Structure 1
Amino acid sequence: MLSLFEIAASLLVLSALLSWINRAYLKLPHTIGLLVMALFASFVLMALQIFVPSVGLTDTIQSAIKQIDFNETLMKGMLGFLLFAGALHVDLGKLRDAKWAIGTMATFGVILSTFIVGTGFFYLTKLFGADLPYIWALVFGALISPTDPVAVLSILKTVKMPKSLETKIAGESLFNDGVGVVVFTLILAIAAGGSGTGHAMLDTVLLAVPLEAVVQSGAGHGGGVSVLDVVELFLVDAVGGAILGLIAGWIGFKMMARIDEHAIEILISLALVAGTYALAQRINILGHHLSGPIAVVVAGLMIGNKGAAFAMSDHTRQYLFGFWEMVDEILNSVLFLLIGLEILVLGLVPEYALVTLLAIPLVLIARLCAVYIPMKVIGTFKNFTKGAIPVLTWGGVRGGISVALALSLPENEYKPLILTATYGVVVFSIIVQGLTVKNVVQRVVDPNLL
């Protein structure tokens, strides 16, 4: 068995090697190239396992990957740093200008998509003879509906588009997980309570929400989840997380404003992310923890805007932003490599391949509805860039967070189907949508705006 250091070293070496191959030969966008090569390597290893089982290489690699808890690694390790790095570069002024579009897509849009995907997936599984209850189909809808901020921000680096559109896509991806995880948590609590597994819950999901509290509040005891439960969960997690991020960001800003030493200010930013994320998971209000991701996003917006303008010299700003750009690149490289290698240990079921293929257009149709309807409502009193709807639809990429949420589901007969469909949608989204979103932008957006 490999040690933690050996696993980390192997991932870094493999990330560096594949990044070099991609840059020198394939010339794909960095993270997409890593995912493609990791998937190719995984399929080669699986073929070796079938045709030359005596080699034993696949078993060794599978054993090492199994030691990595993907959900824990992403949700309690990488995510806070990746979100902070992304939020640093978002213009707060443009974010305010797009607040209605972002807010509507990140709330009503996510809920609408959840029910469209869930309902469609329920009938798809019935069509192919899979016995998936409607409530578990909604669980799939909830975990796949929010766009992934890590994947979205990574792909946005490779595409030139109008700033207003970029802000909407980035802003929505940073904030829609707050609503998405509340919906996911509540639906999963109802599903688990109804199937008798209410106490076999994960301790922490995207916003560090303990599902036992939700189950015990009603779903696990036959009482159902009330509107008050929903409001309470959202206020504590999302609003509480935002307040914590605002306070932590303000403290970090004040500390940076008192000095001008780039090394110390970078250290403060690191402490700000790690400390805020950890504190969010420790604070307990009414049985719920605060949202660590939302807290670090708010803190990142404050440091990237107010901090960069009033608390840093040009010299410090250059070093701090450069440091976080490197953190973002390194963690993204490891994350997308892991997504590709996870296929070796996920236990995907080939029999669900056709359902998974049909789930891809279903998710895209739901995304179109989640963008079109809110945009039409807001469009009656606010102008939008021409081509915004197709770009926002195709640019709504899913990623590792959906896979992590699927992995966090309790063990039951429905998990393999949900996990297989989730992984298929995520891989399609990152590779196909990620590689073609540039073409979509060039086709539908006024060239004078690019």
Structure 2
Amino acid sequence: MGIYIAPELTSHDRSVLAEIYQMRNSLVDVLRTPRRWTGGLRKTMLARAILGSNSIEGYVVAEDDAAAALDDEEPLSADERTFAEIRGYRQALGYVLQSAGDPYFRFDTSIIRGMHYMMLSHDLSKSPGQYRTGPIYVHDERTDRRVYEGADADDVPDLMEELAAHLRSDEPIDPVVKGAMAHLNLVMIHPFRDGNGRMARALQTLVLSRDAIVEPAFSSIEEWLGSNTEDYYRVLAITGRGRWNPEGSAHLWVSFNLRAHHMQAQTVARRFQEASAIWSELDALVADEKLPERVTGLLYEAVLGYRVRRPLYIKLAEVEERTATRDLARLTEQGLLEARGERRGRHYVAGPALNDVRRRTRERRRPIEDPYPGMPVALATEAAALAEMPPVDGRWRSAVEEVMNHRRPPAEPDLPTSGSSLGQI
């Protein structure tokens, strides 16, 4: 029957891939030494992965509400329907994290269908865990055009079995490329009535968690994809050419994923450095103000832009209610936190001193380098041309490849935000 196969990498692709592994090896070295801030950074990275993947589908929440899902807490501002989607994705991501080190794990279609059920079990009308039985189309609401048709429903079970077999195989394929191909094949088969994009991104993270050298929180590209949604749509459109077409080339898609991994790895490395610097500043601040050390983690979340709540502080700091109340009152009196809301909506945000910490952190940032600087323009050009013509074979223009495979000076300082008003630290 056949699914998309991994393309041969160019010399430039291989160079970018080598740099990705160099950065990840450096992260592993940092993670070997326990640090107080590692847990907090891990949580923010997972929250941003959840936020990024769901924002692509239009489910946008504040970053601290995504973090609340990780802590099994209720959101401050997300509506019930949207937060159900966030919580469902968190369930599936939790399974990915739990499976990362399982020596008895085996890829099969029940794993994929089970993850889909975890993700969408709050809405049985979407047939969670079940393959679709009819045709499916992707519709662009902006242009009122049908832009993609998934594989024939009768072929879906066999195609998914082939995908699972490929993921089980001992074929010598790099984990980064293998994850990209798993993502591409699932999203192009479109096996479910809903949630195909999120499932494809979660599957990619699962593949990485099984084979990659650094844990999923720091290897996922879901945050980056959520921050670069237009390019993500464009590369899928160019690769798919309007229909299930596994004979087409997946090279542009793989290069796009290498770009995502490279830029996300740079961002993660920078956040490690920033987290260390922030904690050093907060340690000094806590000592100067003669505060208990237990409040440092709370202040760190406030520096990130999170809205801090007493119940979560009680849980994370493992203190009694009256101790938490006293700590928050003191932090407010000293101007480190500012109180907002009433009763159940009561929360605390960073005061001027903590905002200064965040500002200084941003000012010290070094720019992110784009390993494929010509890719955004190439994608926009090719996608625009594709919109004016009927579907053709999956090959992409050599001129696009030529533009993409040359570097240029460093790009913008950080990932663009993905809908959240919070500072991306």
Scaled by the length of structure 2, the TM-score of the pair is 0.25
* Larger relative contact order (CA 8 Å, sep ≥ 6): 1
- Which protein shows a greater Rg? 2
More helix by share: 1
Scaled by the length of structure 1, the TM-score of the pair is 0.24
